Structure 1
Amino acid sequence: MTDVSEFRITLTVDDFDAAVRLYRDALGLPQLEDWSSDQGRVLLLDAGRVTLELFDEAQAAMVDDLEVGERVSGKVRFALHVADTDATAATLTAAGATAVAPPVDTPWGDRNARVAAPDGMQLTLFSS
């Protein structure tokens, strides 16, 4: 039994408006709260269920090689289960993300694409 009831990721971005356009508007993460004040801007977005996936360096290199062709991601990469990988990648690139690699079919049966958010965060989009 765990005492954890919520897993919240805090992402500090250089361009807040670009991040909102990508994550809330283009990706469609519902806005739960706006706690912005004179001291700073903050939105709480609902990203559905969160799981923590731990990779060792060899696994991270293998996934990067499969999705991109070389080791490119940092210590943190978001992986988002979406209904349509190709359509979501196109929507996000139209909203300011950069395509890192085109969609690929994985050996485990998913369709994956890699994009980078305007802040540089790499996102793996995957659909089954």
Structure 2
Amino acid sequence: MKRRTAREKALQALFQIDMSEIEPSAAIEHVLDEEPTDPYLEKLVLGVIEHQTQIDESIKEHLEKWSLERLANVDRSLLRMAIFEMKYCTDDVPVNVILDEAIEIAKMYGDDQSSRFINGVLAKIKQQMS
């Protein structure tokens, strides 16, 4: 499975977990739809769940005039996934690739403003990390 596909499926699984609080393994199985599992997909979903408290704190620090709860569910899940990658997967993937991928996925799954919003928050986090 390509990384982009793994990210899209991870986003779908994280969205399901966020919305209906189903078990991560059930969400992963559901988005795979009989396809074989992918290690990167599992790493993203399980990593976000494991580090969600720290990731959410990082998001809250960089939101202006918004609360985490007010974010669109897709945007919140996508931010969580991208921040997890930025903080825990940079040996594997350059930060700029993570940002580009998050923005492209936001264009597909979010609303008209999602990609700009995601870009703004992630750019601030990238700057803080450097």
User: Normalising by structure 2, what TM-score?
Assistant: 0.35
- Return the TM-score normalized by structure 1: 0.35
The structure number with the bigger radius of gyration is 1
The structure richer in strand per residue is 1
Task: Name whichever structure is richer in helix by fraction.
Answer: 2
